[in-house]
Amino acid sequence: MTTTFPRAKRKTVAYSVEQVDAFIAQARLAYDTYEIGEATLTSGDIRRVAFDVSKKGYVASVVDSALERLEVAFAELEREKAINTEGWEGLSRRSRVALDDLATRFRRRAKKRFARVGGFKTGYRVSDVDAFADEVVAGLDSGSTLRASWVRQAVFRPQKGGYSEVQVDLILDELIDALIAAGQA
């Protein structure tokens, strides 16, 4: 099986060809059989996939872009299924509750929004995450449309004793899921 991803040249970050090809094949099968049975792959699985870095592999930025489009495609399938199962009102209510719960987390006092790692461990820079949280709250309060794609692009610098990366990433995943459910991919 061949893919359309370009191969990386020297000094370009690249992903393992074998791992990417295997995951894309799994995603194609899951997408093609989505309506038939239980989902074997979710938009969250696609968002969290990681590949080994490899010389002469696929250009990472191109693969990442394709994965983002694939995640949105799966999210749309999941959204359609939820609408068919619980109705538009049910899905809308569920996503609103999830966004309200997340807003409560993001409204916590600065420097206290997430657990911190030990002083000798590296986490996310507190000021970066707090600034991001303030933008999320402002977006939710103003009624402007936050987008999951915007959340996916969040980057936080490292800091000794910073916020727990695991906890922040988990909350961002929940925010992405809630925004996608609200139709704000």
DSSP label at 163?
Answer: B
Q: Measure the CA–CA gap between 138 and 154, rounded to whole angstroms.
A: 16
Q: Which residues pair with 50 in a beta bridge?
A: none
Q: Measure the CA–CA gap between 32 and 59, rounded to whole angstroms.
A: 26
Q: Measure the CA–CA gap between 67 and 46, rounded to whole angstroms.
A: 7
Closest-CA residue to 42 (of 169, 176, 183): 176
Percent helix, strand, coil in the chain, to 5, is: 60, 10, 35
Task: Check pLDDT > 70 for residue 37.
Answer: no
Phi first, then psi: give them for residue 86, nearest 5 degrees: -110, 0
Task: Check pLDDT > 60 for residue 185.
Answer: yes
Q: Which residues pair with 59 in a beta bridge?
A: 14
Task: Check pLDDT > 60 for residue 121.
Answer: yes
* % the chain with pLDDT above 90: 59
- Tell me the pLDDT tens digit for each residue of 46-85: 989 999 999 889 999 999 999 999 998 998 888 888 888 8
Q: Which amino acid belongs to residue 157?
A: R
Closest-CA residue to 123 (of 89, 72, 84, 169): 169
Name the residue ranges covered by the structural domains of the chain.
14-181
Please tell me the pTM assigned to this model: 0.78
